Chains A and B, each alone.
Chain A
Amino acid sequence: MANSLRLYLTCIRNTLEAAMCLQNFPCQEVERHNKPEVELKYVYVSMILICRNEAEKCLIETSINSLRISLKVKQADELENILTKKFLRFLSMRAEAFQVLRRKPVQGYDLSFLITNYHCEEMQKHKLIDFIVQFMEDIDKEISELKMSVNTRGRLVAAEFLKQFI
């Protein structure tokens, strides 16, 4: 792993370890309701933005009973832009399988996670953080592999098509 990515992920891991202290908190506006406060912002929400560079950043919004992590993935060219959009949309549509994934990313970002106190009760906190960090590490590899496979297929198709003209 590149050193810059390792330090970026370490910073995010340390921030999540400090931020993921969630507890149950009933909704202050609606009786007998319990909602993630980071989405509604009825109580104070603190935001931490960690940028690796101009193109890659991570926004961590914390509140008393929930935590939202939004990621902006590096997209070097138009092809990566399209592949990232399609791939992350594919994942977002299957958000129930991930449990902590948000169906729609926060505006300005490619992907968002929403972790509530219930997730922290059912799952281990350090495992959740490991998952998020591993996800960030793997997403770059996935996009690169997709790009390579598109280029390879394009090259093969072009070679086959042009053979008829030889």
Chain B
Amino acid sequence: MAEQEEQPIAGRSLTGQAVALARLLHHECTSLLRLYTERETFLSSYTPDGKRLVSASPESEEPSTEEQVHLLHSALRQCLGLLHRVIQKEEEEWGKLEDEYESMRKNVRARLEHLLYSTKGLVETDGTNLEVTPDNQCNEETDGSGGVFGFKLWTYRVLLELIHWSDHAAKTLHVLHTEREGAEEA
């Protein structure tokens, strides 16, 4: 908690900028979910099961902070893939509505892509090559088996996943920021 209160200043360092970006993404994902539930009001009383749509398993039991950021980067790519699928299918089903929800959805996608570039810049080394393209693992059976109504439920889960992983990104990147900034100051 005390760590979260320590606010990195944007522009001060790459890690600081990444933390700020993740926090902004988290805020926007929350807003996107709010707008979506305003449109689909039945979702306000819906509690999906606790299954994660996106998972990132560490190779070691106690991964380092850099390894955690690697995993985070992988999870964010999956999130971007899910979001792309949501956008694509929503446009198929509803067309372009050009409302506040669509505007926020567009912001979240751009912000998530930006965060992927940030995390890549933070942990990519000469020996590793991180992708920033969407990792689209979903298919017709995962998102369209339940019809339009099932897709709404699935979208809701995707948005929850975005909130979870953006929050996780803010925390993980803050740890990295603290480690790196502390080492530099020392």
Are both chains from one complex? no
A interface residues (Cβ-Cβ under 8 A, vs B): none
